[in-house]
Amino acid sequence: MAKPKVFVTRRIAQETLNMIASSTDMELWDNELPPPRDVLLNKVQTVEGLLSLLTDKIDAELMNAAPELKIVSNLAVGYDNIDVTEATKRGILVGNTPGVLTETTADFTFALLLAAARRLVEADRYTRAGNWKTWGPMVLLGQDVHHATLGIVGCGRIGLEVAKRARGFDMKVLYHNRVRRKQADEKAFGLEYVPDLSELLSRADFVTIHAALTPETHHLISTAELAKMKPTAILINASRGTIVDQKALYQALKSGQILGAGLDVTEVEPISLDDPLLALDNVIIAPHIASASVVTRTKMAMMAAENLLAGLQRKLPPNCVNPDVMRRR
């Protein structure tokens, strides 16, 4: 029997590719950059499985071009690049990679927070530029993290891990979430639930965003919200770029309305080199690498491969975002 055709849109851990290739007719897009749209539309014409990344837009147009498609396995926990409603309508399963990246992403969030608070990137630039002439009592003064107040916006798995790390720094932790967490979690992680986002923004020294991107969270943090923050506050975003209105953030950073920001994500990725944010010293911008550890990316790839192979066999993928597809069959 012919093996099912699959398209993998970027090189991932070799053992995972071997696993996929052993039971499918796999084509790999072995390039640093994503397949251009026309290439992607062409490649999916005869495939039953697609292993996609968050840079691949999986919409109705793509599904129209892929009449055989059974499973889209996204190598990410987020799946805002996929029109899940459309996939479900067509009986196409969608898989994602939750859990395995939680702690790695929380570690990186904390790295961004510490680096922004203590001006680490600026300090490195200062040293390399030959500005380190002596120990200076007023040089590169930053903000204390210990005993400061952290406001977590979107407190799911990753938010909770960030809260855990914050406890080691004796921080007070506030959180705002669609649904209040169980009392046991609040107690275990020392969390204070703040139902009003404005209140959280006005009380926090550090605001960190971990909400999923949905129509409701698009530009959740814009001019009015930034105006609520303290002039000494720092905004961290390791979720999705469009949750923060980047033009409003630029104005707030430039005018000193807030002190700084640490971003792992931007509205347009990659950020354009002429974006005004890049001219500011009080923002750190990383290229969407919060989950990028060797171990975590390997685990994510393995999970994505398992989801893909299950979907090809019409089995429920271990991590499926639209299990309704199975019930309807």
Nearer to ligand DGY, 76 or 160 (CB): 76
> Is 26 a binder of ligand DGY (CB under 6 A)?
no
* Least distance CB 115 / ligand DGY (angstroms): 19
> Is 310 a binder of ligand DGY (CB under 6 A)?
no
Q: How many other CB atoms sit within 10 Å of the CB of residue 11? A: 14
> Is 325 a binder of ligand DGY (CB under 6 A)?
no
Dihedral angle over CA of 157, 159, 161, 162, nearest 10 = 170
Nearer to ligand DGY, 266 or 291 (CB): 291
240 in catalytic set: yes
As a whole number of angstroms, the distance between CA 53 and CA 76 comes to: 7
* Least distance CB 58 / ligand DGY (angstroms): 14
Q: How many other CB atoms sit within 10 Å of the CB of residue 19? A: 18
DSSP structure class, residue 27: E
> Is 77 a binder of ligand DGY (CB under 6 A)?
yes
> Is 291 a binder of ligand DGY (CB under 6 A)?
yes
* Least distance CB 285 / ligand DGY (angstroms): 15
Question: Which of 76-84, 181-189, 251-259, 321-329 is the region at the interface with ligand DGY (rule: CB under 6 A)?
Answer: 76-84
How many residues bind ligand DGY, per CB under 6 A? 6
Out of 34, 78, 142, 190, name the contact with ligand DGY by CB under 6 A.
Answer: 78
> Is 226 a binder of ligand DGY (CB under 6 A)?
no
27, 86, 122, 269: the catalytic one is: 269
167 in catalytic set: no
As a whole number of angstroms, the distance between CA 207 and CA 58 comes to: 31
As a whole number of angstroms, the distance between CA 26 and CA 297 comes to: 20
240, 267, 297, 306: the catalytic one is: 240
As a whole number of angstroms, the distance between CA 323 and CA 39 comes to: 29
CA neighbor of 162 nearest in space, from 122, 117, 114, 119: 114
329 in catalytic set: no
Nearer to ligand DGY, 203 or 240 (CB): 240
State residue 50 phi and psi, 5-degree precision: -135, 125
Nearer to ligand DGY, 24 or 74 (CB): 74
Binding mask 36-75 for ligand DGY (x = CB under 6 A): ------------------x---------------------
* Least distance CB 292 / ligand DGY (angstroms): 7
CB 165 within 8 A of CB 112: no
CB 278 within 8 A of CB 271: yes
103, 288, 297, 306: the catalytic one is: 288
> Is 191 a binder of ligand DGY (CB under 6 A)?
no
Out of 17, 51, 72, 76, name the contact with ligand DGY by CB under 6 A.
Answer: 76
As a whole number of angstroms, the distance between CA 224 and CA 229 comes to: 9
- The amino acid sitting at 215 is P
**Which residue stretches of the chain are H helix?**
14-23, 37-43, 60-65, 84-89, 102-117, 120-128, 157-168, 183-189, 197-203, 223-228, 246-255, 294-312, 324-328
Q: What's the first-to-final CA gap in the chain, in angstroms?
A: 23
As a whole number of angstroms, the distance between CA 193 and CA 181 comes to: 8
> Is 319 a binder of ligand DGY (CB under 6 A)?
no
Give the active site residues: 240, 269, 288
Contact residues for ligand DGY (CB under 6 A)? Answer: 54, 76-78, 101, 291
